[in-house]
Structures are given as C-alpha cells and as structure tokens.
Amino acid sequence: MKKSGAITQKQFLFSVFCFLLSSPFFIAILFKRAKHESWIIMLLGGIIGFAISYMVMTLYNMNKGRELVGICRAAVGKTAGSIIAALYLIFFLIKICINTAQFSGFLSSNVLPNTPVAIIIVTFLLACTLSAKRGAVNICGFAFWFVLPIIIYTLTSTVLLSGQFKLSNFFPMLSLDSGSYLKAALTVVAEPFANLAIFLMLFNES
C-alpha cells in the first residue's frame, strides 16, 4: 500500500475480483433452476456485464472528478440524467436491504443459529460503517488476502476432483427457451455488474 494513500492498480484489480467473487452467493437461486446449464447463463451474463462495465468506465474516464449524478447528467442531459441517477440510487438502497437480509439469513441459518438476527444485522452494519469510515484504501489493501485463499481452494478442489469430471453432464444443452436464458443473464448482470458501477466510483479520481 502506498504511503500517499492512493489505491494501486494491483489493489484495484484484486478489489474488483473480490467484489465479483461474492456475487454467486446472491444469485445461487439461478443454479437451482438452470442446473447443468448455469455456465451458459453465467457466460452470457458475463459478456453483457463486462460490456456494460466497459461503457461505465469509459464514462468515468471522460468525467473524472464527477459523482454518479454528474456523470449521468453529462451523458444524457440534466433531466434524463437526474432520473437515471435517482433510479440507480433507489436500486442501490434496495440492494443494501436485500444483501443485508440475505447475508444475515445465511449467518443465522448456517454459522450462528443461536444468535438473534437483529444482533447479526447491527454488527454487520457497524462493521460496514467502520470500514467505510477508515477509507477505501484500507479496505482494498486487504483484498489480496481475501482472494488468495479462494484461488487456492478453487485450484485444489479442481485438481482433486478432476477425475470425477464427466463431459456428459454438460448435456443436453440449450434445453430452455431463449427468454429464460435472457432473463437469467440479466439477473447475473444486475447483481454483480450493476453493483460494480457504484463500487467503481471509488476509483473515479484515481
């Protein structure tokens, strides 16, 4: 971490990677519906999502120093930009509630079954507030240490389970209708990549 307090490119990379890694936790319901075709949905959603992220980053680079409202207004005009920014703010507030509820529900059901949900929620929000108060630089400085064990676990699991892989599990392919794939892919886009647009605002001035 730089003494100047700036976020390095490596910290930025691992922070975004860490951010995206958390998204399957919130879209696990898609895996139950799509089953063996989940990879198609994730691939399609990833292509659309990265295209949108590229456009968002292009707008950020063209409007350095501006916040989300200012960028929206500069891109599509004052009135339309204000409406888009307001919709995004509503979406962001809803996602805060949904993510907090899902995270606390997961901990309450699987990790801390004897702890009241209210205590988990309050503790989680206090931790988020304290992290935000200390600044994004400190948070991003730990991103690598969150990503590293996940990479090690994934590679180890892949090697140990490689003997059980069966290509036949990929079939039948494209058994769902096109509308189902599109709806599911847009869900993938909305969860990690729409949230990522807010997250990337941290690096708008870097």
Return per-residue pLDDT of the chain as tens, 206 residues. Answer: 444 456 777 777 777 777 777 666 556 666 666 667 777 777 887 788 778 778 877 877 787 777 778 888 888 888 888 898 888 888 878 878 877 887 788 788 877 888 888 888 888 888 878 877 777 777 777 778 878 888 888 889 888 888 787 777 777 777 777 777 777 777 777 776 666 666 666 655 44
Predicted local confidence at residue 156, as pLDDT:
92
DSSP for the chain, please give it.
Answer: --TT-PPPHHHHHHHHHHHHHTHHHHSHHHHHHHGGGHHHHHHHHHHHHHHHHHHHHHHHHHTTT--HHHHHHHHH-HHHHHHHHHHHHHHHHHHHHHHHHHHHHHIIIII-TTS-HHHHHHHHHHHHHHHHHH-HHHHHTTHHHHHHHHHHHHHHHHHHHGGG--GGGG-S-S-S-HHHHHHHHHHHIIIIIHHHHHHGGGGTT-
Q: Cα separation of 154 and 186, whole Å?
A: 26
Amino acid (one-letter) located at 169: N
Predicted local confidence at residue 147, as pLDDT:
81
Which two tokens mark 101?
A: 């509820």
Predicted local confidence at residue 1, as pLDDT:
40
Contact 188, 28 (CB under 8 A): no
| Neighbour tally for 120: CB within 10 Å | 19
Which two tokens mark 78?
A: 């004052």
Q: Cα separation of 78 and 69, whole Å?
A: 9
Predicted local confidence at residue 113, as pLDDT:
83
Question: Is the pTM of the predicted complex or chain greater than 0.75?
Answer: no
Closest CA to 102 of 197, 19, 27, 20: 27
